[in-house]
Amino acid sequence: MKPIFFLLLLTFATASLHAQNNPVNKADTVIANTADVNSVDAIIASLYAVISGAASEKRNWNRMRSLFLPEAKMVATGNRPNGEIVKRVMTVEDYITTNGPVLEKNGFFETEIFRRQEVFGRIAHCFSTYAAKKTATDASPFMRGVNSIQLYNDGKRWWILSIFWQAESADLQLPKQYLPQQ
């Protein structure tokens, strides 16, 4: 099974009604560590750190919740094997419920390998190229792609408003402008 299809299948497997059945937004009750949210660099590093870990390692999902605005969205896009272009829109809780058990069971390490960043006033947009490995010591990533991350600063801290991502595939290779310059 191709990695992109596996991840999309995993992401799409959960019913989208989770948020409707869980009206309490846990992000409203979680306080962020100031060091995680005091800069664009810090919040993006915290995002990658919180989802990464070895197999059987519990993630700090409250830390993840603390990075996002309560109304934040996470969106995955890609192609099904039949070529159909699909997307999956999730809340942070949907992501935690759907992907959390799989990340913790199998191990997952996602790192930022390059970033293009624009900031204007209280808004920031980052094209963050990632590489994902199953263990921290894997020689090569099993997947790469781009996270399009939108951030908002409320005058006190940075918040993630949305993440929209697409993995690299045989038909869609990462262009040079989104890779480290050598």
Residue 18's pLDDT is 40
Residue 12's pLDDT is 44
Question: Which residue, chain included where needed, has tokens 């408003």?
Answer: 161
Q: What is the pLDDT of residues 8-54, one digit of tens each?
A: 444 444 333 344 444 445 556 689 999 999 999 999 999 999 999 99
At residue 170's C-alpha, the angle toward residues 7 and 180, to 5°, is 90
Domain that holds residue 110: 3-178
Q: Which stretches of the chain drop beneath a pLDDT of 50?
A: 1, 4-24
The mean predicted confidence, pLDDT, of the chain is 88
Tally of domains within the chain: 1
Alpha helices, H only, the chain: 3-12, 18-21, 34-37, 40-51, 61-67, 92-106
Domain of 35, CATH number, reads: 3.10.450.50
